[in-house]
Chains A and B, each alone.
Chain A
Amino acid sequence: MAVAAIGKYEFEPADALEKFHGAQLLYIGWEDHLLFCAPFAFPFPPTMPFRAVVEEVLPGSFGYHPDFARIDWAQAEWFKSGQPWRPDFDKSLAENGLRHKDVIRFRTPGLRGIAGSCS
């Protein structure tokens, strides 16, 4: 459907890739850990290795949680747009097929948040 309007109604999207100074947006959520109230939004260069996201960025964002230090990354399950997905840690975001405004989540089996409450 289209907007009911008195004339032509066409506008630029506010969040086109070229507005982010060479970065693209990536959203990352940690399943079963709602102490972090919502998934995070990050601006990353598409050339950034996936490993750098996990090892250099995520500790600053999720490290407050006592479960974070217990994560076994080899066991982590990943999802992209809700579908099972396997990242290659040594490839870049672009090489992993991640595009502007993609959303990924990870689940860490055995870790269910504060007192098992998914917090």
Chain B
Amino acid sequence: MDMQVAKKKLGLKEKYQVMTRGLDWEPSYQKKEDIYPYASYEGIKIHDWDKWEDPFRLTMDAYWKYQAEKERKLYAIIDAYAQNNGHLNVTDARYINTVKLFLTGVSPLEYMAHRGFAHAGRAFPGAGPRVACLMQSLDEIRHAQTQIHALSNFNKHYNGLHDFRHMHDRVWYLSVPKSFFDDAVTAGPFEFMVAIGFSFEYVLTNLLFVPFVSGAAYNGDMGTMTFGFSAQSDEARHMTLGLEVIKFILEQDPDNLPIVQRWIDKWTWRGYRVLTLVAMMMDYMLPKRTMSWKEAWEVYFEENGGALFKDLARYGITMPRCAETIALEKDHLSHQAWGTFYNYGAAAAFHTWVPEKEEMDWLAAKYPQSFDKYYRPRLEFWREQAAKGNRFYNKTLPMLCQTCQIPMLFTEPGDPTKICYREVDYQGSKYHFCSDHCKEIFEHEPEKYVQSWLPVHQIYQGSCFPEGTDPSAEGFDPLAAVLQYYHLEFGRDNLDFEGSEDQKNFDLWRGQATKNG
């Protein structure tokens, strides 16, 4: 890069003042509370918005300059990757299933984050956070767009990527990330900032982007590596915003502490539950692995998150209590998650498989406390049965958690042989949860979570069939109708990787790429 550094007229600090506060004005003929109607109902007290400062002191003019540079680099690489049939350089075609899960599960959240930060920015009476939220809102739509562009290249060649937006609003496992973000954007602006800006961006996204994107690079997927790191370059600013938000709110009024602590507890857990998908991607779906989910958790949450919460202790903030539960789950999470997708591989828009022997040995080495004892017997049984033509497809719909919407696959803290069941009676009806934390979240705001659109219940209510379907017709096949409603083509987008069209095409094309036909 050859970037000219212009002679500065103003120092960074002065320029930041001029380009944020300097652009703001005091209203003269409208009341402030009419202009900012969402600024106080959550109970957060702010006395002086001018105390807010972005430590990067980034202003819009510099923002455009650097973002443009990032985009130029990104698209040059994406174009080169596509022109060179880079998809044939990935380790093996199983890898592409991680991209399918990412596009259908994560990219639509980037778009929702764009909307969420635009809304929060509009709602805040302070010029500093408004400018920072504006930048983040623009970043997030950039992420959605660059991910869609980068992954559209895979859609030309592989199945399951053809209708990601439609699927995001309907497919059972995608209700987990979707409902997580819908929960955040339907909260007030302060809770949204703590939920997404702090708990998700600061505490958890490193786990999504850093080891996973580094893993994409390791598996030869330069397209995903590029959009991933380009997005992550914005994340550093988002994380900084998230941390500043917390510090700012806490410094403004002592009454804010209990509200903020409760939001941190709630959203660390909500975000962690969504990362269940990432745990399984790292341990099971990357053919070449960089680090295990457990190792990533230890580095990015226990070590870095631990330092963060120690730093925030001066405000009275404590480590979320769910961290203790999570520590007990880290030996089990990815195995239980992958087992669930193996169960329901007929209803997923990507392929599943049993890991090969060497992969199981890697898992055993990374998870000496759990893998051989609890998970290897299960996987080996499935492999034996599949070899006999009796591949396991679970055809009965699972019970879901009312809060996180994940099937009730999690085990009791400290006992991996027992499913964790929790329930609450509320207004004459029963509600079920996967954990104490999901139960507590419900109990605090039951009016919100009784509205959960649980895919299994919606299927049984008859809401998940294509328009015009008659479920009382002779020979009606509900599963087939649900897959049609999802726009998921049976036998092509789903089922085992072994024998899939993706597998056959990849082998054929790779063969053509390495020798004359």
Contact = CB atoms under 8 A, between A and B. Distances in A.
Nearest to B402: A15
B457 A38 contact: no
Contacts of B409: 37-38
B226 to A, nearest CB: 35
Contact of A6 (B41, B377, B398): B41
Nearest to A43: B460
Given A40-B399, A103-B430, 16 more contacts: A4-B42, A6-B37, A21-B462, A29-B408, A34-B378, A35-B381, A35-B382, A37-B336, A37-B340, A38-B409, A39-B398, A64-B392, A64-B394, A101-B429, A113-B377, A115-B377
A14 B41 contact: no
A1 B445 contact: yes
A95 interface: no
Among B42, B340, B343, B398, which residue has the most Cβ atoms of chain A within 10 A?
Answer: B398
A1 B441 CA distance: 10
A38 B429 contact: no
B247 interface: no
Interface string B156-196: 00000000000000000000000000000000100100000
Smallest CB-CB A-B distances: 6 pairs: A119-B378, A118-B417, A38-B407, A13-B450, A38-B398, A61-B396
Interface string B379-397: 0011000000000101111
A67 to B, nearest CB: 11
Interface in A1-47: 1-6, 9-16, 19-21, 23, 25, 27, 29, 31-32, 34-43
Contact of A4 (B43, B378, B429, B462): B43
Nearest to B42: A4
A102 interface: yes
B106 to A, nearest CB: 22
Chain B interface main SS type: mixed
Interface string B43-83: 10000000000000000000000000000000000000000
Nearest to A21: B462
B377 A36 contact: no
Nearest to A4: B42
A117 interface: yes
Interface of A: 1-6, 9-16, 19-21, 23, 25, 27, 29, 31-32, 34-43, 60-61, 64, 81-82, 99-103, 105, 113-115, 117-119
Nearest to A115: B377
12 contacts: A4-B42, A6-B38, A14-B450, A20-B461, A21-B462, A32-B417, A37-B343, A38-B340, A43-B460, A60-B395, A101-B432, A119-B374
A36 B409 CA distance: 9
A114 B454 contact: no
Contact of B41 (A5, A82, A114, A119): A5
Given A1-B444, A2-B447, A32-B417, A117 B378 contact: yes
A2 B490 CA distance: 44
A16 to B, nearest CB: 7
Contact of B397 (A2, A40, A114): A40
Contact of B407 (A35, A37, A64): A37
- Counting chain A CB atoms within 10 Å of each CB, the highest count among B336, B411, B452, B456 belongs to B456
B154 to A, nearest CB: 28
Interface in B428-461: 429-432, 443-445, 447-448, 450-454, 456-458, 460-461
Contact of A118 (B374, B423, B461): B374
A5 B416 CA distance: 39
A34 B381 contact: no
Contact of A20 (B392, B450, B451, B460): B460
B441 to A, nearest CB: 11
B41 A29 contact: no
A39 B397 CA distance: 9
A41 B400 contact: yes
Contacts of B429: 13, 15-16, 100-101
A103 B399 contact: yes
Contacts of A37: 336, 339-340, 343-344, 394, 398, 407, 409
Contacts of B397: 40-41
A27 B399 contact: yes
Contacts of A5: 41
Nearest to A11: B451
Interface in B230-285: none
B373 interface: yes
Given A11-B451, A20-B461, A117-B373, A3 B445 contact: yes
